[in-house]
Chain A
Amino acid sequence: MIPRISFPVRPAFGLALSAMVLLSGCEQVTRLTGLAGLTDTVPASEPQLVGPELLRVSIPTIEAQATLGPVARQGDVTVWQTLDGTTLSFRGGSLIATRGLGDDLMSADVAGRLEMLRNARGAEESGYYPHIRSYLDGEDRTVFRSYQCRHVPQAHTGADPDGALRRINELCVSPTDRFTNVYWLDRSGTMVRSRQWISPKVQYMETSRVPR
C-alpha cells in the first residue's frame, strides 16, 4: 500500500460556543497549550458542560496548561475537558484517567487513597494501602501497575497561607516507578489543589479549583 492522504470534507471544528456563552466575562474553558498538539484527523468533541465550576491544570513536563470544565458526572466521578479534547477524570478529586495526553492513564483504583484522605490527621503515620493503575503498551495491550502507597506526615506544620487548607503528602512505590502526590483539602474535606502523577512520560500535573 502507498501512503494516502485523503481529504474528506470536514467542518472546521468550531469553538465551544456553549462554553463561551456560559462563561462570558470570566475565566473559561481553554485549549491545552504547550503540547505538540492533538491531531485533527478526529476533531475534538465540543465540551458540553454540566456545571459552572472550573479546574486549572498545568503539566510542567510538557509545559502545558489549560482550564477545564466538567462534562460528565457519575457518582463520585467527574470528567473534565479542555476545549481541544483532552479529558481528565477524577474520583473524589483523585485522578483515575486521562485521555488525549499520549501516555495516558487508562484507569486507576483509588479506594485506598480516598480512605486515607478521609482519615488522615496531621502528623499521624498511616499504614500502606494498594493503588493500581492501568496503561496501554506499544501494542495496545492493557498493562497494570501495582503500587503501595502511604500518607507521609510532614516534618514541619507551618500554617498554610490560607490557614484553612490541610496538606497531605502521599508516597507511592512500584517496582518501576515512584511518585509523591500532594493534596490540599479544605475544612469540608474537598480537594482544592493537588499535584498528582500521571505517567512516566507526562509526569506530574498540578490542579487547582478556580474559586467562584
Chain B
Amino acid sequence: MDEGAVTRFGATILAALCAGFPLWAEDNARIDTGYNSYGYPGMIDMPVATSRPDGELAATISSFAGQTRSTLTFQMLPRLSGSFRYSVLDDIMGGGGGATTLYDRSFSLHYRFADETDLRPAIAIGLNDFLGTGVYSSEYIAATKTLGNSVRVTGGIGWGRLAGVGGFTNPLSIFDDRFETRPSRDFNEGGDVEAEQFFRGDAAFFGGIEWQATDRLRLTAEYSSDAYPSEDPSAFRRDMQLNLGASYRIAPMTDLSLRYLYGSEIGLQLTTALNPAIRPNQGGREPAPPPVLARTSQDGSALSWAGNVTVNVDERAEAQADLRERVGDALEAQGLRLHGMSLAVRHAQVEIENPTYNQTAQAVGRTARVLSRLLPAQIDRFDITLVNAGMPVTELRIRRADMETLEHDLDGSWKSFARTRIASASGPVRPLPGRYPDFRWNVGPYIAPSYFDPDDPIRADFGVQLGASYTPLPGFEISGVLRQKVFGNLNEATRGSNSILPRVRSEFSIYDREGENAALMQLTAAQYFKAGRDLYGRVTVGYLERMFGGISSELLWKPNDSPFAFGVEANYVKQRDFDQRFGFRDYEVATGHASAYWDIGNGFHAQIDAGRYLAGDWGATFALDREFGNGWKVGAFATLTDVPFDDFGEGSFDKGIRITIPLSWLTGEPNKSGYSTTIRPLTRDGGARLDAPGRLYERVRPLQKPALRDGWGRFWR
C-alpha cells in the first residue's frame, strides 16, 4: 500500500544528508535504541535489532485509539530482554460482532544474536505474546544497520500479527510445508506456550528509518506490517501502513514520544528507565570507618594487656569485661552488635551480628578496624564469627598485621580477602552475658499493591506496620507483625473467586477487605538451630502468614563455599479467618517442598522447589533471578502442578515476575531493608506456596564466602 511513501521519506533523508544537513559528526554521536509501543526495543510499532544497556529496567506506557499498553522490560543479559505487558484494548471486535474491551497480559522476548559490524547489520529474533491469550502473538527477525553517525535503518520479516499486511508464503516452507499455515490458538485459558504457532503461517516485511536529529530528539518513520485485525475498524481505521514519530528525551532516562499512526491516529508514549547497576549515590553516604591503629604507633601503656601472669584472676576477668564493654560500644557506634567475645593469649574470638550493612564484608572490615584500635598489642589474630538468628554461620580469621599493612595498599581489597581464612563456623555461639533476652520493635509504613483487576489495574493500600520481636535465648525468636491500613482502595475489589480448587489464594480481596483494621500479619515462635557444620534448621509455629497458620519446619544444607544448596520444608497449616485475627477457617493441608538452589555466577541464581502446594496439588516451581551486587533483584518464576490447565482457570498455571529494590540503593544509607514486589498476571489457587517467614537460604547465604567475596570491595569502606 505505502512502500512508495517509505521510499519518498528515505529519499528526503538522503537529500538532507547530501545537502550537508547539520548532523552530529562528533565521535560520541550515538543513536539511542528506543522502546516501541509494545515496550520492547523498537521504533513505533515495529522492532529493531539493537538492545538497551545491560541490566536496564524500563517502564513504558503507550496509548492510541483506546489501545493502552503498559510494559515492564528488563534487559536480562546484554543480548536478551524480556517484557511483561498489561494492555487494555478498547472497542475491539468481540465474538458476537459488537465492540468489547479486552484486558490482556502478555510476555515478549527479544534476543540479539548478531552484533553490528562494518559490513553486517545487527540481527535479532523475537517472540511476542507466547504465553497469553495470543492477541499480540507474533514472531520476527529484524536487522538494523547504522549509516553514518545519526541514521539507522531496520528491515525485518514478521509472522503472526506482524504478517497482517503484505503477507506472502512463509519462506520457511522450503523446509517443511507445515510452516505454511499458522494453527489457530487454543484460546481457552491462555497461558500455554504456543510453540506450535511459532514462525508459521504467512510472513511479511516491515522496516523503518530512525534519525537521531539532536542529542535529545529522534525522528522515526516505519512501514508497519501489522493489520490490527481485531482493532480495525471498530477502534480505528487504518488508512496507510506508514507511521511517523518523534521521541524527545525530557530527562536523562525518560523519553516522550508523539506518533502519527496509520494515517488516522495520534499516539503518545512515555518511557522511563533506570539501571540497577548504576547507583544514584555512588558509593553511599555512610561516614568513614575508624582508621586502623597500628601497634607500632600505639603508646604502650594505654593498651597494655591486663592478661599477663602478674595480674591475678579477678583483675583479669574485670579487665576482660571492661574491654568487652568498650568493644561492644564501639561496634554499636558502627551499627553492629557484639554477640560474644573472648580473648585467648594470641587471638580474639568475636561474634557479631550485622543489622546495618548490605555487604557483610563491610561489617567485617569495620569490626576488624574497631578491634585493631582496642585490643591489647599481643593479640595478633581476629577470629570474627558472623551470627544470624543465634546461628554461627561463618568464621573469618584475619591477621592483625594484615589490617595494619593493607589499609593503604593499592590492592588492599583483594590482598586482604586472599589472606583471610573463611570457613563455616564450628562450635556453638558463646553469647555475652546480657545479650539475651532481647526485645526489639520497629514501626514503619507499608504499601500493599494489587495488580490487574480489570476494574482498576492498580490498587494499593497504605498504612502503618508495627513489628516486634522477643528473643529469650539464642535462636529462639517470638515475633509479630501488625498492620493498620490508613488509606487505600484494595477494598473496592468486587470480583469474587470462581476457582474450582480449594480457594487458598484467590479470595485475597476478601482478606484485603476484612483485614482493614489491625490485621495480624504474623505471630510466630521460631527456633533456629545448626544441626551440623553446614546444616541449618528452623521450626516455626503460629500465624505464619496472612492466610495460613500452623507449623513449618525446614532443614537447609549449604556448605560455605559451594554454589549449591539443598533444603526440605514440611508444613502443616490451616487457613486463617478473613479478618486476620486469631480464628481459623476449616481448610487444612500438609504442604512442603524439596528445594535445590544454584548460584550460577554473574549474579544469576536458580531455584527449583518441588512438592505439594497449598491446594494439595503436586508440582514444581522454577525460578531464575538476576541479583545485582548492590542488592537489586529481578526475577521470574513459573509453577507447573498436576492441576489441569482448565481447572486452574485463566492463565493456566501460576507464574510471575518479582523485583526487590534495596532501600540503600535509593537513599545511599546503609540499610538492609528493601521493597519487594511480586507481579502475577493472575492470582489463582494452583501452584500456591506457603509464605513461611524466616526461610533459611536468604538468611545464611549473605554471610557466606561467595557473597563476602563479591562484596569485599567494601571491606575497607
Residue ranges of A at the interface with B (Cβ–Cβ < 8 Å)? 1-8, 36-39, 41-45, 50, 71-74, 77, 79, 81, 84-87, 89, 91, 96-97, 99-100, 102-104, 106-109, 132, 134-142, 201
Contact = CB atoms under 8 A, between A and B. Distances in A.
Interface string B278-309: 11011111111111111011000000000000
B668 interface: yes
Given A41-B669, A42-B670, A2 B287 contact: no
Contacts of A201: 282
A85 B713 contact: no
Contacts of B290: 45
B444 A3 contact: yes
A104 B717 contact: yes
12 contacts: A1-B675, A5-B444, A7-B442, A39-B668, A45-B334, A74-B292, A74-B407, A99-B717, A102-B285, A134-B411, A138-B630, A139-B630
B148 interface: no
Interface in B668-717: 668-671, 673-676, 710-711, 713-714, 716-717
A198 to B, nearest CB: 11
Closest 9 CB pairs of A and B: A85-B287, A139-B629, A99-B288, A72-B291, A6-B442, A44-B287, A87-B288, A103-B282, A39-B669
Q: At the interface, is chain A mostly helix, strand, loop or mixed?
A: loop
A107 B409 CA distance: 7
A102 B668 contact: yes
B286, B443, B671: residue with the most chain A Cβ atoms closer than 10 Å: B286
A100 B288 contact: yes
Interface in B381-418: 404, 407-414
B338 to A, nearest CB: 15
Interface in B292-338: 292-294, 296-297, 333-335
Given A99-B288, A140-B710, A134 B413 contact: yes
Given A3-B675, A72-B292, A84-B287, 8 more contacts: A2-B465, A45-B287, A97-B408, A100-B285, A100-B286, A100-B288, A104-B282, A141-B713
Contacts of A44: 287-288
Interface of B: 275-279, 281-294, 296-297, 333-335, 356, 359, 404, 407-414, 440, 442-447, 465, 467, 603, 628-630, 660, 663, 667-671, 673-676, 710-711, 713-714, 716-717
B674 A100 contact: no
A106 B676 contact: no
Nearest to B676: A1
B291 A132 contact: no
A2 B339 CA distance: 27
Given A1-B674, A3-B444, A140-B714, A86 B413 contact: no
Given A1-B675, A39-B667, A102 B410 contact: no
A153 B403 CA distance: 39
A64 B410 CA distance: 27
A201 B288 CA distance: 18
Contacts of B668: 39, 102
Contacts, number: 169
A112 to B, nearest CB: 12
B442 A102 contact: no
A85 B717 CA distance: 12
B413 A106 contact: yes
Nearest to A201: B282
Give the most central of A2, A72, A73, A136: most B CB within 10 Å: A2
Given A2-B446, A39-B667, A102-B282, A74 B717 contact: no
Contacts of B407: 74
Contact of B630 (A96, A132, A140): A140
Given A3-B445, A74-B297, A138 B277 contact: yes
B283 A37 contact: no
Contact of A106 (B291, B630, B716): B716
Contacts of A137: 277
A167 B363 CA distance: 42
B670 A104 contact: no
Contact of A38 (B275, B287, B297): B287
Nearest to A133: B410
Contacts of A50: 297
Contacts of A41: 286, 335, 356, 669-671
A129 to B, nearest CB: 14
B545 to A, nearest CB: 13
Given A5-B444, A38-B286, A132 B356 contact: no
A4 to B, nearest CB: 4
B628 A1 contact: no
Contacts of B660: 1
Contacts of A142: 413-414, 713
A8 B467 CA distance: 13
Contacts of B287: 38-39, 42-45, 84-86, 99-100
B76 to A, nearest CB: 16
Nearest to B627: A139
A150 to B, nearest CB: 20
A5 B675 contact: no
A212 B640 CA distance: 76
Contacts of A107: 408-413, 716
Given A3-B663, A45-B290, A106-B413, A39 B673 contact: no
